[in-house]
Chains A and B, each alone.
Chain A
Amino acid sequence: MEAVVVQNMTKTYGKEKTLAVDNISFSVAKGELFGLIGPDGAGKTSIFRILTTLLLADSGTASVDGFDVVKDFKSIRNTVGYMPVKFSLYQDLTIEENLSFFATVFGTTIEANYDLIKDIYVQIEPFKKRRAGKLSGGMKQKLALCCALIHKPTTLFLDEPTTGVDPVSRKEFWEMLRRLKEQNITIIVSTPYMDEASLCDRIALMQGGKILSIDTPDDIVKAYREKLYAIKANEMYPLLKVLENYPGTLNSYAFGEYAHATFKDQMKNMEEFERFLAEKQLTGVEIKSIEATIEDSFIKLLH
């Protein structure tokens, strides 16, 4: 069964009709961990706000758990959990007060759904008398997740939950999401971090309000047909310039300590290319063939 269905959704802002979401369609199966991956301004937050009934789309339809986001917004508000990008709990209330407040607002109690949040809550419980504003970034995220889960939502919307959180907490956070998935909660998560994409069941790569590709992370990587090379030299900047100017280059870009590049004809005569690099006075050149990552796929889709 599909938990979330979006059809031909479009949203523009302001008088200039700036396109934020451009005729998007996708669906998410029940119990799936679905990722919206894309840079800032790709339209991820707009989609979240439309699906959580905070924003009205210009055109198109969407439903969550079978409820229409416009007609049945009341039912949706009862069943979904939402964690906005910006920490939006009461900073002047303590962890415990925030949690019981949101439990009450949804007409439930902490005790009733304690088993759902237990794993996460025990980590912040020692600080339950501390005001939310005084918590560290990672603890704030955990508290926000607890508050979004306290009414046992069927679908959970997490808008960039790991932005501004340290690598260790990020890892922990994704482990928590995995465990929540086991409870058969549909999770839609957005992130600008490509490395997190591979942790999702399926992902949608987004850019400028459009979905470039939707598939499982593995299939997206498999769809990358060209042979990819990682190239390194002592002089990185000149190397990038040289790669750009090399007539056989299809695509090249900096990637960490390497430059990634694809070539026409799958690079049959490697010697000629190496000679070309040597002519340009590059030293310590290292070339290796590598597997593409999601980020490589994303960059390719952008071109």
Chain B
Amino acid sequence: MRTLRFLLKKEFRQIFRDKAIVALIFFMPCIQLIVMPLAADYEVRNVNLAVVDHDKSPYSQKLISKVIASGYFRLQGYNSSFHEAFKLIESDKTDLILEIPQGFERNLIREDKQRLFVAVNAINGTKANLGGSYLSSIIGAFNADMRMQLVQQPRYSQFPVIDIVASNWFNPVLNYKVFIVPGILAILVTMVGGFLSALNIVKEKEIGTIEQINVTPIKKHIFILGKLIPFWVLAIIIFTIGLILARVIYGIAPVGSLLTLYLFIAVYLLTVLGFGLLVSTLCDTQQQAMFIMFFFMMVFILLGGLFTSIDSMPDWAKFITRFNPVRYMIEVMRMIILKGSGLKDVLPHLAAVSAMAVVLNGWAILNYKKTN
């Protein structure tokens, strides 16, 4: 125990003596947590729109102003022919073309029906998709308005109508930040913990200090624990800072129990650090360790459900995510912070992460050889 205490003392001394690293460890995640949610946002605004109005009637004017007034679109062209408007798409000045045919007003009133044409530049799939559906829903609303004015509604509708009203739970105003901040916090803690631990033992190998350690009677598990605990403590501190930032800046306070959240992060960090230490024992240089960590971090993040839903992934990808600790962390963060899930709800996640922690740390201890 005395040896372990001294190992820890030594590790902390080394970490805090490198002022640049300390700054990086604490400031980098804070800045990322402040900047990233603002930029990484799926809400599509400022969709560029060109209108080809062949009708030039009060109705078509009304429709156009309704579209612009929604705030999602920016009118980039008001052209007389589709051909002209298409040039704007080609030069990337606009994303959408709305073509209003001649006789739009007349046909809408007289024949109760009219067709509009919407052309979408689908190079940016998300923007095209959302822009198109925003436009459809605005046109739909316009249609309903017009009918209210034109048609005297009978007391009861002739046709049975099922009206669907959706109510959004856990994130009532569909604020994207509420969704993304807990996920980003999970990623940041993972990155700091993973990279620090992965580079640590390798650094001792590179500098040669491991030689001196290896001829001492230090037990392997004590040595690994001495490497694990300092980063575990650091990551917990960063996590706490992140939670405070989320509360102060984004107003996101965990609905569920903090105790459950910390219990989970404590176990989860053992997994991440164990993985880092395993990489560290496998590699000979910091460069190797860095690249391996980079590879896995990319996979973990992209298959972690931070940006894209895991449910919509193909089956093989879904299978891979089962071995991705980050996936469990992001899910649990959202469950506890947004939904208020209790310990019972996250037990399966906790079990999966614990199993990984045991395997990875055990492997790291076995793989750390004092003799070669």
Contact A93 B212 (CB under 8 A): no
Q: How far is the CA of A102 from the CA of B211 in the complex (A)?
A: 13
Contact indicator B17/A89 (Cβ below 8 Å): no
Neighbouring B residues of A106 by C-beta, 8 Å: 216-217
- Determine the chain B residues whose CB is within 8 A of the CB of A36 once the complex forms: none
Q: Give residues 1-57 of B contacting A (CB, 8 Å).
A: 2-3, 6-7, 10, 13-14, 17-18
The answer to whether A105 has its CB under 8 Å from any CB of chain B is yes
Q: Which residues of chain B are within 8 angstroms of A147 by Cβ–Cβ distance? A: 212
In the complex, A196 has a CB within 8 A of chain B:
no
Would B212 and A102 count as touching, CB distance under 8 A? yes
Q: Is the pair A97, B13 in contact by a Cβ cutoff of 8 Å?
A: yes
Given contacts A52-B215, A53-B371, A92-B18, contact A105 B209 (CB under 8 A): no
Which of B17, B207, B215 is the one whose CB lies under 8 Å from A77? B215
Q: How far is the CB of A252 from chain B (nearest CB, A)?
A: 41
From B2, B7, B18, B371, contact of A54 by CB (8 A):
B371
Q: How many chain B residues have a CB neighbour from A under 8 Å?
A: 24
Which of A80-88, A167-175, A239-247, A260-268 binds B? A80-88
A interface, how many residues as a size bin?
A: 20 to 34
**Nearest residue in A to B219 (C-beta to C-beta)?**
A74
Indicate if the CB atoms of B371 and A105 lie closer than 8 Å: no
Is A107 interfacial (CB 8 A cutoff)?
Answer: yes
The reply to whether the CB of A104 lies closer than 8 angstroms to some CB of chain B is yes
- Most interface-central of A97, A105, A106, A131 (chain B CB within 10 A): A105
Name the A residues within 8 Å of B213 (CB-CB).
105
Q: Is B218 an interface residue (CB 8 A)?
A: yes
Chain A positions within 8 Å of B217 at CB level: 74, 77-78, 105-107
The verdict on A54 contacting B6 (CB below 8 Å), with A93-B14, A105-B218 known, is: no
A101: contacting residue among B6, B18, B211, B215, CB under 8 A: B6
What CA separation (Å) do A50 and B10 show in the bound complex?
28
Does B167 lie at the interface of the complex (its beta carbon under 8 Å from any beta carbon of A)? no
Chain A CB within 8 A of B65 CB:
no
Q: Is the CB of B10 within 8 A of A54?
A: no
Knowing A92-B18, A104-B3, say if A54 contacts B215 (CB, 8 Å): yes
A100 vs B3: C-alpha distance in the bound complex, in angstroms?
A: 11
Closest 8 CB pairs of A and B: A88-B208, A104-B6, A82-B215, A86-B208, A88-B212, A105-B216, A77-B217, A84-B211
Interface residues of B (CB under 8 A from A): 2-3, 6-7, 10, 13-14, 17-18, 207-218, 370-372
Query: Can you list 23 residue pairs at the A/B interface with Cβ under 8 Å?
Result: A52-B215, A53-B370, A55-B372, A56-B372, A84-B211, A88-B209, A88-B211, A90-B14, A93-B14, A97-B13, A102-B212, A104-B2, A104-B3, A105-B6, A105-B7, A105-B213, A105-B216, A105-B217, A106-B216, A106-B217, A107-B2, A107-B3, A147-B212
A residues with CB within 8 A of B:
52-56, 73-74, 77-78, 80, 82, 84, 86-93, 97, 100-102, 104-107, 131, 147
